[in-house]
Amino acid sequence: MSEKKHILDYDTVALDDEGRALVIIDQTQLPYHTEILHLTGQDQIWEAIYKLQVRGAPAIGVAAGYGVYLAAREIQEKTDDYQVFKEEFIKAKDYLNSARPTAVNLPWALNRMEKVVLDHPDCSVEEICKLLHDEAVAIQEEDIWTCKMIGEYGLTLVKPGDGLLTHCNAGQLATSRYGTATAPMYLGFERGYNFRIFADETRPLLQGARLTSYELHDSGLDVTLICDNMSASVMKKGWVNAVFVGCDRVAANGDTANKIGTSVVAAVAKLYNVPVYICAPTSTIDMDTPTGDEIVIEQRPAEEVTEMWYAKRMAPEGVKVYNPAFDVTDNELIAGIITEYGIARAPYTESLKEIMEKKAAAQASKAK
Ligand code: MRU
């Protein structure tokens, strides 16, 4: 009899063996149904990102990389003219980029893919498609390495037996492996750290309840699910030694957009002297956005608040609803920003710049 597959045995995002479809777990169905979707059309891929069937900043970036590669192959079937190919490619890129506005990983990955096209005007369209394939694979492989490094750095900030709190899902389901905020948790688990983890349920889309508590519990970690309004209570009791959260866009001054409610957790953590660490791949750091004020916050449909997940609607018909998907945590509430190149500390305007310089130097020496 074959053993039951664990949720983390599935790839969050992949390209199928023939290189013809984007393969994702439909995260809107979790934890009850593990439905694997094979997406081929650009509309399907756009919708999967918009509907959060694939979600979490790094996973969105990886999906967009493969998605625009699939678009390139479709275009290649129609033309071998570089100019025509380039114009159609840019249209496909802009279309996928419009699926969600806040996670910078989406334009970051798409711009990387576009650069491959722009840098090779003398190659055949077929050769460019091969290079696009390799770039999309590289984006995914780097994501795995990045999360592992964030886990290693994160682990230096805590000790065995600590209580850790997280918000939303910055887990493996939001990345290619390990997660960002969960990377120190998974690595600590492997090394016998016995963390006690608190997962906020994360209204309104319940990523904490449906995804974080699921993937941690299914992997054998000690996780306790709490409602979003319970974080003060567990912090006041002294049960939380550190908060690890992910991010969708970190501005140059360290202000950080993450799932709605993160800034509430950070404000409460400040009150109880609990350090808040942002787990941030450098792909999520946007040095072109000076402060959190310039980050575009996605607004989502009212139904997510009034009726989604409920057996029947729980709000009066016609009531006004405000449903921003993200909020910005001010940099002064953040104890550190953990990247794959080290931990940035305040003042972030300087430390993030140093991290990005370190990355550029590492990439330059790799390219030699
Ligand atoms: O709306 P979502 O589910 O895509 O929001 C996800 C988050 O806010 C995550 O914390 C963030 O993308 C980091 S994932 C490593």
Per-residue pLDDT, averaged over 277-296, amounts to 98
What does the pLDDT average to over 193-212? 98
% residues pLDDT > 70 (the chain): 99
Of the pLDDT bands very low, low, confident and very high (cuts 50, 70, 90), residue 363 is very high
296 and 156 inside one domain: yes
Check residue 368 and give its pLDDT. Answer: 84
**Per-residue pLDDT tens digits for 50-77:** 999 999 999 999 999 999 999 999 999 9
**Could you tell me the distance, in angstroms and rounded to a whole number, from the CA of residue 249 to the centre of ligand 1?**
10
Number of domains in the chain: 2
Indicate if ligand 1 lies below 6 Å from the C-beta of 339: no
**pLDDT band with cut points at 50, 70 and 90 for residue 1:** low
* Residue 288 and residue 186 share a domain: yes
Which residue in 366, 367, 330, 337 sits closest to 353, CA to CA? 337
CATH number at residue 22: 1.20.120.420
Average the pLDDT over 148-152 and give the result: 98
**Atom number of ligand 1 nearest to Cα 281:** 15
Inform me whether the pLDDT recorded for 140 exceeds 70: yes
Looking at 121, 145, 169, the residue that finishes a domain is 145
- The reply to whether ligand 1 has any atom less than 6 angstroms from the CB of 173 is no
Assess whether 261 and 331 both reside in one domain: yes
Owner of token pair 């409602």: 227
Alpha-carbon span 14 to 22, nearest angstrom: 6
* CB-based contacts of 188, cutoff 8 Å, min separation 6: 155, 158, 160, 195
Which helix (H) or strand (E) is 5 found in, with range?
A: none
State whether the beta carbon of 246 lies less than 6 angstroms from ligand 1.
Answer: yes
Question: Do 85 and 159 lie in a common domain?
Answer: no
- Mean pLDDT score, 96-112: 98
> Any idea what the CATH number is for the domain that residue 312 is in?
3.40.50.10470
Q: Which of 118, 145, 172 finishes a domain?
A: 145
pLDDT, position 132: 98
The half-sphere exposure of 111 on its side-chain side, counting CA atoms within 13 A, is: 6
Report the atom number in ligand 1 closest to the C-alpha of 60.
4
Burial label, 184 (beta-carbon count in 10 A; 0-12, 13-18, 19+): buried
pLDDT digits 0-9 by tens, 32-46: 999 999 999 999 999
Q: Let me know: does 283 contact 146? Beta carbons within 8 Å.
A: yes
3-state secondary structure of 127: helix
Give CA 244 to chain center in angstroms: 14
Q: Quick one: 157 and 298 in the same domain?
A: yes
- Percent of the chain at pLDDT > 90 equals 98
Whole domain around residue 238: which residue ranges?
A: 147-367
Q: Has 9 been annotated as catalytic?
A: no
- Give the whole-angstrom CA distance, residue 93 versus residue 327: 26
Question: Average pLDDT in the 96-121 region?
Answer: 98
What is the average per-residue pLDDT within 298-324?
97
Whole-model pTM: value is: 0.97
Domain boundary among 145, 168, 190: 145
Cα–Cα distance measured from residue 20 to residue 79, given in angstroms and rounded to the nearest whole number: 18
* Pocket flag, ligand 1, residue 265 (CB < 6 Å): no
Are 298 and 327 spatial neighbours (Cβ–Cβ below 8 Å)?
no
Instruction: Examine residue 2 and state whether it is found in any structural domain, yes or no.
Output: no
Q: Is 163 helix (H, G, I), strand (E, B) or coil?
A: strand
Same-domain check for residues 166 and 268: yes
Handedness of CA 227, 228, 234, 240 (dihedral sign): positive
Helices of type H across 98-172:
105-118, 125-155
What mean pLDDT value characterizes the chain? 97
| Confidence at 2, pLDDT banded by 50, 70, 90 | low
- pLDDT tens by residue, 218-247: 999 999 999 999 999 999 999 999 999 999
Whether 56 is covered by a domain: the verdict is: yes
Ligand 1 pocket residue status of 175, Cβ below 6 Å: yes
Tokens of 278: 């942002």
Which among 143, 162, 248, 327 is annotated as catalytic?
248
Q: Which residue has the tokens 């597959």?
A: 5
